[in-house]
A and B are shown apart, each in its own frame.
Chain A
Amino acid sequence: MGLISGTLLSFNEDLLYTIPIMLLIIPALNSLIGDLSTVLVSRLTTHLYIGTIPPKIQKSERLIEDFYGLIITLLLSLASLLFLGYLIGIISGIRIVNPLLMILIIVATILLIFFIMFLTLFIGAIFLFKRGKDPNNFLIPFVTSLADFLTPFFLILFIIIFI
């Protein structure tokens, strides 16, 4: 997945030279979605081990609480990331193209990926746990790779469509 993501970036090398702010924020965006998904997997695994979430695909109070906790963290972190990224971009003289539209594209990308991740990881954790596997070992590598692929993919896709 990482190599596919690299190929995607390498194919769109002109885009990176034209919108260099993308290269500045891509590692932070990747890790933001990766971190929160990893926190989610770790929490889900511990919940399943200690029995606070039943190994069934159903809504529970604990799951909803985790969802809201993580989405609030995601939005606060995204706001900080955009503020810091653009501030550092301005200070270091990195060219910023169409800042408002870029912000909208980044927010839409991250929210879309978070929803995809939340559903996939919840179902994946239940599935693995029921088969006696540790969801940490399977889902965390999957999460990182998926985040590293989906973030540049949707970002490049939305930039090509809207800018």
Chain B
Amino acid sequence: MENQDSKSKIVKETFPSELISIIGDILAGILLSLLILPFNSFPVLILMVPALLSLRGNLSGPFIARTSRDLIIGDFSKRTWIENVLATYTLSIFTAIFIGIFSIILNFAFFKLFILPTVHFILIPIISIVLTLLISIPCSTGLNYLAFKKGLNPNNIVNPVMTAIDDFSTVFFFLLTIIMLGVP
């Protein structure tokens, strides 16, 4: 599959999914610039947003790549998928806790804005990322499987489409979490 891809095939397969990704990310940008920017605690919240978007990419990216590699080389099974899901969730929760701890440290060291209760620094990343993965994992597995079944290269298609879904979900669930926690 991979060794037959010409540059026009790469463009044909990647560009439409990248376009979907751009639309999803612009929607995430609208949420950020219109709904999160007006929060009083924005200078503290913006500390966490890129880290959460990175975390999403860092975890769901390898999840998608491993699933598509397993499909292409014929190693995909229920057992490998469950192992993949468990590893992704465990890593997400640990990394979200670290994001919270480092945000607290950075806030104490540089910004000294005590608008948020300390526990919120930990809760916001954990809740946001767990909710995001609830959408991300089933969608990416389904897309990987569908792309592979239709003879398309999952490597070219699934990541850009999932970035759109994931980035929008990350910012949306971030907004939902800060509303639920009553962040000013």
Task: Give the interface of A toward B (CB within 8 A).
Answer: 1-3, 5-7, 9-11, 13, 16-17, 20-21, 23-28, 30-32, 34-36, 38-39, 41-43, 45-47, 49-50, 52, 62, 65-66, 68-70, 72-73, 76-77, 80-81, 84-85, 88, 92, 94, 134, 136-137, 140-141, 143-145, 148-149, 152
Q: Are A52 and B15 in contact (CB under 8 A)?
A: no
Judge if B102 is at the interface, Cβ distance under 8 Å.
yes
Q: Are B103 and A3 in contact (CB under 8 A)?
A: yes
Q: Are B69 and A144 in contact (CB under 8 A)?
A: no
Q: How does the 8 Å CB contact mask read for B13-48 relative to A, with 1 for contact and 0 for none?
A: 011001101110110111011100100001110111
Contact partners of A11 in chain B: CB under 8 A: 110
Judge if B68 is at the interface, Cβ distance under 8 Å.
yes
Task: Give the interface of B toward A (CB within 8 A).
Answer: 1-3, 5-11, 14-15, 18-19, 21-23, 25-26, 28-30, 32-34, 37, 42-44, 46-55, 57-59, 61-62, 65-66, 68-69, 72-73, 99, 102-103, 106, 110-111, 155-156, 159-160, 163-164, 167, 171
Q: A3-B102, A65-B7, A72-B7 are in contact. Are A77 and B15 (CB under 8 A)?
A: yes
Q: Are A25 and B21 in contact (CB under 8 A)?
A: no
- In Å, the complex CA distance between A71 and B54 comes to 23
Contact partners of A43 in chain B: CB under 8 A: 2, 5, 155-156
Nearest B residue to A9 via CB reads B46
Contact partners of A7 in chain B: CB under 8 A: 47, 106, 110
Q: A3-B99, A84-B23, A148-B50 are in contact. Are A27 and B159 (CB under 8 A)?
A: no
Q: Are B68 and A42 in contact (CB under 8 A)?
A: yes
Q: A10-B46, A77-B19, A141-B62 are in contact. Are A2 and B156 (CB under 8 A)?
A: no
Interface of A is mostly: helix
Q: Are B72 and A145 in contact (CB under 8 A)?
A: no
Nearest A residue to B10 via CB reads A69
Nearest B residue to A141 via CB reads B58
Q: A20-B33, A69-B8, A148-B50 are in contact. Are A2 and B99 (CB under 8 A)?
A: yes
Nearest A residue to B113 via CB reads A10
B54 touches which one: A9, A137, A148 (CB < 8 A)? A148
Contact partners of A149 in chain B: CB under 8 A: 50
- In Å, the complex CA distance between A2 and B57 comes to 11
- In Å, the complex CA distance between A34 and B28 comes to 16
Nearest A residue to B155 via CB reads A42
Q: Are B69 and A62 in contact (CB under 8 A)?
A: no
Q: Are A27 and B167 in contact (CB under 8 A)?
A: yes
- In Å, the complex CA distance between A62 and B43 comes to 45
Q: In the complex, what's the smallest C-beta–C-beta distance from A77 to chain B, in angstroms?
A: 4
Q: Are B2 and A39 in contact (CB under 8 A)?
A: no
Q: A136-B66, A145-B54 are in contact. Are A81 and B46 (CB under 8 A)?
A: no
Nearest B residue to A22 via CB reads B33
Nearest A residue to B98 via CB reads A3
